[in-house]
Amino acid sequence: SAVISQKPSRDICQRGTSLTIQCQVDSQVTMMFWYRQQPGQSLTLIATANQGSEATYESGFVIDKFPISRPNLTFSTLTVSNMSPEDSSIYLCSVEHPNYGYTFGSGTRLTVV
Amino acid sequence: ELKVEQNPLFLSMQEGKNYTIYCNYSTTSDRLYWYRQDPGKSLESLFVLLSNGAVKQEGRLMASLDTKARLSTLHITAAVHDLSATYFCAVGRGGADGLTFGKGTHLIIQP
């Protein structure tokens, strides 16, 4: 299955600032997915990133808050903009392999103070 | 809208016992996944179930899928402490549209 490198692994940020999370895959993939896991909660899909087109956002998530880039078939970034304490979560990227299903990066643990 | 219900949400059991976690979903899907998450860690893929009647086993864990009932189960046999974790089921949303997750089952296995 694909190996996903995600960074940073964790960060503590001041409210009002922005953080960009990077996700690098060791093989070319069509779609990359970004999820949020709030403390003690399950995972919620933020958006789907397809190379060469704008990301598709789920209900409750908007591009101004969570801009996504997908410059090539192995890389994507998610920015959490104008952060507030409510954005404190784990953010995970994911890709799908036809035989192995969806695999996940190691996650970025974000704390906003 | 696809909804995934998982139960129980919390389970405390003794080593050596058997138990089953249930995952119901609301709309037709041909892909069901089980993941394990340890505290502070990412998700580890356990099983991918792709067809009705699929059954997969790995060690003390066995997963099954009934697409007609829209139900998957994760059965734990003779539990050991190392299986303590949070277990999530997730359902494919169709095509390559990502996953919808259940709320997770927080499993504690006590010696």
* A47-105 pLDDT tens trace: 999 988 889 999 999 999 999 999 999 999 999 999 999 999 999 999 987 777 899 99
Q: What is the mean pLDDT of residues B50-73?
A: 93
A1, A41, A104: residue with CB nearest B43: A104
Nearest residue in A to B98, CA atom: A33
Residue, of B29 and B108, whose pLDDT is higher: B108
| B31, B45, B102: residue with CB nearest A42 | B102
pLDDT of B29 reads 81
Contact B104 A101 (CB under 8 A): no
What's the CA gap between A33 and A91, in Å, rounded?
11
pLDDT of amino acid A51: 85
Looking at residue B50, what is its pLDDT? 87
pLDDT bracket for residue B108 (50, 70, 90): very high
Confidence of residue B53 (pLDDT cuts 50, 70, 90): confident
SS3 A37: strand
* Alpha carbon of residue A28 to chain centroid: 17
CB contact (8 A) between residue A100 and residue B99: no
Interface check for B65 against chain A (CB to CB < 8 A): the answer is: no
**pLDDT band, very low/low/confident/very high, at B90 (cuts 50, 70, 90):** very high
Determine contact, residues A75/A24, Cβ cutoff 8 Å.
yes
Closest-CA residue of B relative to A91 is: B42
Mean pLDDT to the nearest integer, B91-99 = 83
Query: What letters, b where the CB count within 10 A reaches 16 and e where it falls short, cover B42-55?
Result: bbebbbbbeeeebe
Residue B64 confidence (pLDDT) above 80: yes
> Which of B10, B1, B7 minimizes the C-alpha distance to B24?
B7
- Of A34, A41, A56, A48, nearest to A89 (Cα)? A41
**Under a CB-based contact definition with an 8 Å cutoff, are residues B45 and A94 in contact?**
no
pLDDT at res. B102: 97
* B94 to chain A, closest Cα gap in Å: 12
B19 touching A, CB under 8 A? no
DSSP A54: P
Contact B101 A30 (CB under 8 A): no
Q: Tell me: the pLDDT tens digits for A21-61?
A: 999 999 999 899 999 999 999 999 999 999 888 899 999 99
Looking at residue B17, what is its pLDDT?
96
* Of A83, A81, A110, A106, nearest in space to A93 by CA: A106
Mean pLDDT, residues B22-49: 92
- pLDDT at position A109 is 96
Contacts with B41 from chain A: Cβ below 8 Å: 106-107
Gap between the Cα atoms of B76 and B85, Å rounded? 12
Within an 8 Å CB–CB cutoff, is residue B100 touching chain A? Answer: yes
Please name the helix (run of DSSP H) or strand (run of DSSP E) that holds residue B37, with its range, or none. strand B32-37
What is the average per-residue pLDDT within B78-83?
A: 95
Query: A103 touching B, CB under 8 A?
Result: yes
Q: Using CA atoms, how far apart are residues B89 and B9, in angstroms rounded to an integer? A: 12
Residue B57, number of CB atoms within 10 A of its CB: 12
Contacts of A37 by beta carbon, 8 Å cutoff, 6+ apart: A43, A44, A89, A90, A91, A92, A107
